[in-house]
Chain A
Amino acid sequence: MEELNRTLDAVIRGEKARVVGALVRVLGSIDAAEEAFQEALLAALSRWPVDGKPQNPAAWLTTTAKNQARDAARHRRVMSEKAPLLAEDEMIQPEPTDSVSDDELRLIFTCCHPVLTLETQVALTLKVVLGFSVEEIARAFLSPEKTVAQRITRAKNTIAESKLPYEVPSRGELPGRLASVLAVVYLIFNEGHTTREGGLMRLDLQAEAFRLGRLLCDLLPTEAEVFGLLALIAFSLARAATRTNARGDLLLLSEQERARWDRPMITEGLMALEHARRCAGPENYVLQAEIAACHATAPTWDGTDWSKILRAYERLLALHPSPVVALNRTVAVCMASGPAAALTALAELEEPLARYHLFYAMRADYRRKLGEDARDDYERALALATNDAEREFLRRKIED
């Protein structure tokens, strides 16, 4: 029984998107598809212990779910001749022979449709694509279950009412729509990285973001940004275990124990980045990944290739001017040219970042390096920070 549950869990986590994606195409709605999928899971629970585990569990679940849906449709038709009919012959057609179906992509693009709010896109993607339960989503985002459930129901209604075409966007539309999908992946990853309140990391969310990123890479193998984002997530995951000390205090990159970074995960990042470089054009996530790669491969903080990092920041800022990116760039300025140069670079960022705690924390660091008393800046940073681990970190700085 335990083994059966493990198998089913693996299928739900690994292949739900493909099965549900195929079912939406056939049944016409995410709700009906998820219902049929649940029915198939129940059937598996009763039949597999008797018949043995099928060689291809995902295929078995897809076929069973389709049969269940067909039976349900027949039943509905008998009950009411006026009920909308499902194209029955379409439903019983065999699996498409090409092993790469667009079903998963259609499903992902629909869940991340810009007609929905970003929060809703995230919830729907976690639920429908990644197989999270409402309870798990609620826990991950520290929201009440009821709120999450309502959000998902509303999203499904919006999709049904707006009659969104269930399709992969055309070439021309793709960049914009893909940006919206990647924003969802990035948000899932980032939510796992630093939560707004409470504890610091939720590794499972980061792992899920990585899994979704890999899936997207397989589905869109020539899109540089997909690989850039995957690399960025991999480099971050590789350092996850060293981001805090035994007491749970936040550690800076310069303080982390590099020998404990996850090397196979760094290799994942490097390979994804190499692929991204071969696809056209440096873009936002690719350049962020370039910076992360410099850190991941440097033997020490001081031995980091700061001039390469500076070049990547300059390209990044030329593409997308952003005060937060400019703020991060000052770290590389400080390492390459010293704290006085970093303070000069910071000066023009005070206005746009006046409410951002990290601006004051970083200015305090550079001032302290120059021998100044920077307690006022640390205190301003502390007053603006909301994350427990970050607040604790700033408190330690003030005491030092």
Chain B
Amino acid sequence: MPQYMLMVTEDLAKERERTPGETQALIEGRTAYEQELRALSVFLDGERLRPVSEGRRVSTRDGAARVVTGPFAEATLSGYYVVQADDLDAATKLAERCPVSPGSALDVRPLMKGSHNPEKMRQPGRVFGCAVLGNAANEPAWVDIMDRVDASSRDNFPTDKMCGGVRLHAPSTGRRIAATEGNQRAIFDGPFLESKEVIGGLFFLRMQTIDEVVAFAMNADFVRHGGVEIRELWRS
């Protein structure tokens, strides 16, 4: 069965306004949602990401790798799910049931390839999610970037520290569900290249500190082609 990634993107300003009661409702709602996905036997993986203010972005500018500390200007990932579904419509239906706060968006993207480790947070140690980002004027150029990242990341990967990773199909193959005030949902088809950095994949590393992940990314060949946003996973 085809696999899809559901990515929750949060509006930082809105998130700051959220009351503790609303946060609690959201956290409990997400747990219930995950249980629902598990009950339907469609759940493959899913985690929440720690605050973007703790995150780092590593990218190449003028030939040199540079690091930026969060929060970043654009809206960023706050969580994800990987599900199996018959087709994009079925995946979108599952995504629509995910509780999100107003101002958030849910991107549904088909998986090209990858492996899942849904137990990664039940083992000791900190796990960092690395979102591979590409910035291009059009989709063929973006796909080209991701191909080059893919090719250059086969070797020199710290495989002993890997706990799963996936590559996504191009944005034009996906959907976006935008949550507006009053819990209204609006659904759009891809492409979504209007945002500066578009995510092309996500992989996970179990490492001691975020600095260790940054050091790996700074020296990784693939950062020459795109960028990577590093975010610690939350235990919840």
Residues of A whose CB lies within 8 Å of any CB of B are 14-15, 18, 55-58, 97-100, 217-222, 227, 261, 263-264, 266-267, 270-272, 274-275, 278, 293, 296-299
A99 and B235 within 8 A (CB):
no
B208 and A222 within 8 A (CB):
no
- A selection of 14 A-B contacts at a CB cut-off of 8 Å is A55-B211, A56-B215, A218-B235, A219-B124, A219-B125, A221-B124, A222-B122, A263-B18, A267-B23, A271-B48, A274-B28, A293-B24, A296-B20, A297-B21
A71 to chain B minimum Cβ distance, whole angstroms, is 26
In the assembled complex, B212 has its CB within 8 A of some CB on chain A: yes
**Which residue among B28, B209, B218 has the maximum number of chain A CB atoms within 10 Å of its CB?**
B209
A270 and B27 within 8 A (CB):
yes
Across the interface, name the chain A residue whose C-beta is closest to B235: A275
B209 and A297 within 8 A (CB):
no
Across the interface, name the chain A residue whose C-beta is closest to B214: A55
Q: Which residues of A contact B125 (CB under 8 A)?
A: 99-100, 218-219
Q: Which residues of B contact A55 (CB under 8 A)?
A: 211, 215, 218
Q: Which residues of A contact B160 (CB under 8 A)?
A: 97-98
B122 and A221 within 8 A (CB):
yes
Q: What is the bound-complex CA distance between A58 and B206, given in angstroms? A: 16
- What's the count of A-B pairs with C-beta under 8 Å? 81
Residues of B whose CB lies within 8 Å of any CB of A are 16, 18-21, 23-24, 27-28, 31, 48, 51, 121-126, 160-161, 206-209, 211-212, 215, 218, 234-236
User: Known contacts A98-B160, A221-B235: does B23 contact A270 (CB below 8 Å)?
Assistant: yes
A271 and B124 within 8 A (CB):
no
B48 to chain A minimum Cβ distance, whole angstroms, is 7
User: Known contacts A56-B212, A222-B122: does B235 contact A270 (CB below 8 Å)?
Assistant: no
B20 and A263 within 8 A (CB):
yes
Q: Which residues of B contact A298 (CB under 8 A)?
A: 21
A354 to chain B minimum Cβ distance, whole angstroms, is 38
Q: At the interface, is chain A mostly helix, strand, loop or mixed?
A: helix
B196 to chain A minimum Cβ distance, whole angstroms, is 26
B17 to chain A minimum Cβ distance, whole angstroms, is 9
Across the interface, name the chain A residue whose C-beta is closest to B208: A99
User: Known contacts A14-B209, A18-B208: does B20 contact A100 (CB below 8 Å)?
Assistant: no
Across the interface, name the chain B residue whose C-beta is closest to A266: B20
B24 and A270 within 8 A (CB):
yes
Besides A99-B208, A221-B124, 8 new A-B residue pairs in contact (Cβ under 8 A), listed by A number: A99-B212, A221-B235, A222-B122, A263-B18, A274-B27, A275-B235, A297-B20, A299-B19
Closest A-B pairs by Cβ, 4 of them: A100-B125, A271-B236, A297-B20, A55-B215
Q: Which residues of A contact B208 (CB under 8 A)?
A: 15, 18, 58, 99
B10 to chain A minimum Cβ distance, whole angstroms, is 12
B126 to chain A minimum Cβ distance, whole angstroms, is 5
Across the interface, name the chain A residue whose C-beta is closest to B219: A55
Across the interface, name the chain B residue whose C-beta is closest to A105: B124
Q: What is the bound-complex CA distance between A99 and B208, given in angstroms? A: 6
Q: What is the bound-complex CA distance between A57 and B31, given in angstroms? A: 38
Across the interface, name the chain A residue whose C-beta is closest to B31: A274
Q: What is the bound-complex CA distance between A97 and B207, given in angstroms? A: 11
B211 and A220 within 8 A (CB):
no
A261 and B20 within 8 A (CB):
yes
Across the interface, name the chain B residue whose C-beta is closest to A57: B211
